Amino acid sequence: MADRNDVTGAERNKMADEHTDKTHESHKLNETGKADGTGKSGKQPRESHKTFQGLKPLPVPKSFPGIPSLKDGSISKATVVTTAVTAVVALLIGALVGYGMRNPVDSSEYKAISGQLADAQNSLTTTKDQLDTTKDKLKDEQTHSEELEEDNDTLNSQVTSLTTERDKLNETIKQLTPNVNPGSNPIEILDIKDMGAEYGFRELEFTVKSNVAAILTSVSIQFQIVDGNGNISRSDSAGAYSVVLNPGKTTVATTFTEDRGYGKGSKIVPVKWTYRVQNGSYTDGDYGEGVKTGEIK
């Protein structure tokens, strides 16, 4: 009985040794697969393995608390190896679970950046709202500006029309209002022309303006021809008869005076005016020194 038990223990020890050798070979294959990324089986390593490539493999302890040492020969090698592998796996699972339970959302840096992102998003939303409001205001102002431009064009057109009408009215007023000059002579001399001599007579024309506030029917001008020495060569008169001369209007008084060979440079000097109002009497008066004069050609 003792011999059978000894044989059985030897066989068990042999089996444990073979199992341990296979386990070491399996570990070597896994280490080779990690090195080239494939292993002999051709399978790709799991992604979770890549995460821990930098970690040192945990050493297999020679003894564990509560487990008798191999020296006393009371426990087989297979039992020890199985227990060790189980402990290592448990440690690895605990490490993986602990690593997986780490949540980056709970980090202070993540929370700070998340807060900044939320503030930026709020600022962006507010800015977009302000931009939309500004665009709406700009659109309204542009519409209002276009309306003002149309109103301005209409007003400019009205101003042009009213200006034209005003000018016409002013012209009408000028025609209706006597263009009289109270400070001037009632019969004002505007121009004197020597029209030349023919058949012993010289034609003279006096353009006169009425500064009388009544309609005149006749106007006459008495004048003298004075030579270069101041001597009077001839006295005569020119007239406009049977006329209707309104206040401020002009007419031409004409005469054919005897040509006595007046010297060139002799002056024609008006000396007296006479007019007759419509259905009225005659009025006369003298010209002063500042009267306009003419010249014989």
**Measured between alpha carbons, how far is 41 from 27 in angstroms, rounded to an integer?**
13
Task: Give me the percent of the chain exceeding a pLDDT of 70.
Answer: 61
The predicted pLDDT at position 31 comes to: 54
The predicted pLDDT at position 175 comes to: 65
Single out the residue of 254, 263, 173 nearest to residue 221, CA to CA.
254
The predicted pLDDT at position 85 comes to: 53
The predicted pLDDT at position 123 comes to: 87
Contact 233, 258 (CB under 8 A): no
The predicted pLDDT at position 142 comes to: 87
The predicted pLDDT at position 191 comes to: 96
Sign of the four-CA dihedral 180, 184, 185, 191: negative
pTM of the model: 0.43
Positions of the chain with pLDDT under 70? 1-106, 173-183
Which of the 8 DSSP states describes residue 245? B
Cβ neighbour number for residue 226 with a 10 Å cutoff: 19
The predicted pLDDT at position 17 comes to: 61
The predicted pLDDT at position 70 comes to: 47
Tell me the pLDDT tens digit for each residue of 162-180: 999 888 877 776 666 666 6
All structural domains of the chain = 2-100 (no CATH), 187-295 (2.60.40)
The predicted pLDDT at position 32 comes to: 52
Q: Is 67 exposed, middle or buried (0-12, 13-18, 19+ CB in 10 A)?
A: middle
Contact 243, 210 (CB under 8 A): no
The predicted pLDDT at position 250 comes to: 94
